[in-house]
């Protein structure tokens, strides 16, 4: 499958040049919502079914007050094996996805960056490495003293994940890594930072786990400076029907077994797979549909329930999530599919 996956990786360049960003800034500034309080959230938001007292936890529905604790418990369990499991489950493709993701961000010298749901630091370390390279290049061009001014703050609600990340800092081949990194344990929906504190914001494989996507996006916009760049890497909907069936069978039937065999925890990885199907507005499963086990053929099960895999009430998840980001005040929003939609990079600006 690794060979098939590799051949299907798209290399199309979805970068948003700074010139275009500047043009958007000049033409759309009046449309952007002014920076306000944490409570002010512009426009229509995510699916109305998710704004009550219940939210999705995989294929289950739980009380909103319980959701954060349940998600935190999942990641506390998987933290010690998280990095290795990512390699096993994705056939090392997650490394390519994250490299591409950071390339979309266009790190620059002196950049102040926030990586939310940063976990064990995979994305944050990549961003800092590129910032340092940009600073070195700038010093050479100007024949000036090399300065390490850029900083990356890695933020996660789960302290266990952050601790795993801190263990890797000493082995990084990044200049002034310890001085350039900070670690904050905090909720993505209520960030402990002042307005307009960061140039850029990333969240990778984390936004589908928050209790309130709108609150998360509102906070992202609040802490970004004017002209700041928001980037999100998340699992999405596969476009190719054949690849979709293979991916469904693999994720629903194999990944929980890998989790059990290697990490001793099938249930946490079952949740992670189910959460992908629910993001951002996948079909709501009625109570009569049983939870899937590793022995269930997902397509057959959905067909028997009168449902279709990856069905969305508002079109493809990529388009719907783009609309949600725009509704929260970001401009110039676009997305790029990787591996034909297994994951997608969404990008937008605060103007």
Would you call 194 exposed, middle or buried from its count of C-beta atoms within 10 A (0-12, 13-18, 19+)?
Answer: exposed
For residues 238 and 310, the answer to whether their CB atoms sit within 8 Å is yes
In whole angstroms, what is the distance from residue 15 CA to residue 201 CA?
A: 16
Look at residues 117, 317, 325, 127 and name the one whose alpha carbon lies nearest to residue 221. 325
Give the tokens for residue 129: 């490495």
**pTM confidence score:** 0.77
Look at residues 128, 219, 218 and name the one whose alpha carbon lies nearest to residue 165. 128
Q: What is the mean pLDDT of the chain?
A: 80
pLDDT of residue 280: 79
Angle (CA) 122-193-218 rounded to 5° is 85
Residue 186 neighbours by CB under 8 Å, 6+ apart: 155, 156, 157, 192
The helices-and-strands tally (H runs, E runs) of the chain is: 14, 9
pLDDT of residue 334: 97
Reduced to 3 states, what is the DSSP secondary structure of residue 277?
helix
Angle (CA) 103-105-107 rounded to 5° is 85
Q: Do you know the residue count of the chain?
A: 351
Give the tokens for residue 58: 């995989």
pLDDT digits (tens, 9 = 90+) for 135-187: 999 999 999 888 889 999 999 999 999 999 999 999 999 999 999 999 999 99
Give the tokens for residue 274: 């189910």
Whether residue 340 is predicted with pLDDT greater than 70 in this model: the reply is yes
Element holding 123 (H helix, E strand): helix 122-142
Whether residue 105 is predicted with pLDDT greater than 80 in this model: the reply is yes
Which one has a higher pLDDT value, 294 or 46?
46
Which one has a higher pLDDT value, 242 or 313?
242
Give the tokens for residue 110: 């002196």
Q: Which CATH class is domain 44-239+314-349?
A: alpha beta
Neighbours of 246 (CB within 10 A): 15
Whether residue 195 is predicted with pLDDT greater than 80 in this model: the reply is yes
CB hemisphere CA count around 314 (13 angstroms): 18
Residue 202 neighbours by CB under 8 Å, 6+ apart: 101, 102, 105, 113, 114, 115, 116, 123, 127, 231, 232, 233
pLDDT of residue 61: 80
pLDDT of residue 66: 83
Whether residue 291 is predicted with pLDDT greater than 70 in this model: the reply is no
Phi-psi region of 119 (alpha: psi -120 to 50; beta: other; left: phi over 0): left
Pairing outcome for strands 224-235 and 331-338: unpaired
Which one has a higher pLDDT value, 25 or 137?
137
In whole angstroms, what is the distance from residue 258 CA to residue 292 CA?
A: 16
Reduced to 3 states, what is the DSSP secondary structure of residue 155?
strand
Buried b (16+ CB within 10 A) or exposed e, 31-56: ebbebeeeeebbeebbbeebeeeebb
**What are the two backbone dihedrals, phi and then psi, of residue 55, each rounded to the nearest 5 degrees?**
-135, 165
In whole angstroms, what is the distance from residue 335 CA to residue 137 CA?
A: 29
Q: Where are the domains of the chain?
A: 44-239+314-349
pLDDT of residue 52: 52
DSSP classification of residue 162: H
Q: Flag the least confident range among 114-123, 209-218, 298-307.
A: 298-307
Which pLDDT band, with edges at 50, 70 and 90, does 58 fall under? confident
Compute the average pLDDT of residues 8-12: 34
Which pLDDT band, with edges at 50, 70 and 90, does 277 fall under? confident
């Amino acid at each position: 499958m690794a060979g098939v996956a590799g051949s299907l990786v798209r290399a199309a360049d979805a970068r948003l040049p700074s010139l275009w960003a500047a043009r958007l800034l000049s033409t759309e500034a009046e449309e952007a919502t002014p920076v306000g309080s944490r409570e002010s959230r512009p426009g229509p938001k995510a699916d109305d079914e998710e704004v009550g007292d219940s939210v999705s936890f995989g294929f289950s529905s739980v009380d909103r007050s319980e959701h954060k604790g349940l998600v935190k418990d999942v990641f506390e369990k998987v933290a010690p094996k998280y990095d290795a499991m990512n390699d096993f489950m994705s056939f090392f493709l997650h490394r390519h996805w994250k490299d591409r993701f950071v390339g979309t961000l266009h790190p620059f010298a002196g950049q102040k960056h926030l990586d939310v749901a940063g976990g064990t630091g995979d994305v944050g370390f990549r961003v800092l490495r590129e910032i340092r390279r940009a600073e070195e290049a700038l010093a050479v061009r100007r024949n000036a003293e090399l300065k390490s001014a850029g900083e990356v703050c890695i933020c996660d609600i789960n302290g266990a994940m952050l601790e795993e990340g801190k263990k890797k800092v000493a082995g990084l081949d990044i200049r002034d890594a310890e001085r350039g990194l900070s670690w904050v344990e905090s909720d993505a929906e209520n960030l402990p930072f002042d307005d307009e504190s960061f140039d850029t914001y990333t969240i990778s494989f984390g936004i589908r786990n928050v209790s309130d996507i709108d609150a998360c996006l509102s906070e992202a916009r609040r802490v970004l400076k004017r002209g700041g760049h928001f980037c999100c890497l998340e699992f999405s909907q596969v476009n190719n029907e054949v690849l979709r069936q293979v991916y469904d069978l693999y994720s629903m039937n194999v990944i929980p077994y890998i989790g059990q065999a290697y990490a001793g925890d099938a249930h946490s990885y079952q949740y992670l797979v189910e959460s992908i199907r629910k993001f951002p507005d996948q079909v709501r499963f009625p109570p009569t549909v049983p939870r899937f086990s590793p022995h269930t053929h997902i397509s057959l099960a959905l067909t028997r329930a009168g449902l279709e895999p990856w069905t969305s009430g508002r079109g493809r998840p990529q388009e719907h999530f783009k609309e949600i980001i725009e509704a929260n005040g970001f401009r110039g929003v676009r997305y790029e599919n990787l591996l034909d939609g297994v994951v997608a990079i969404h990008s937008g600006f605060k103007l």
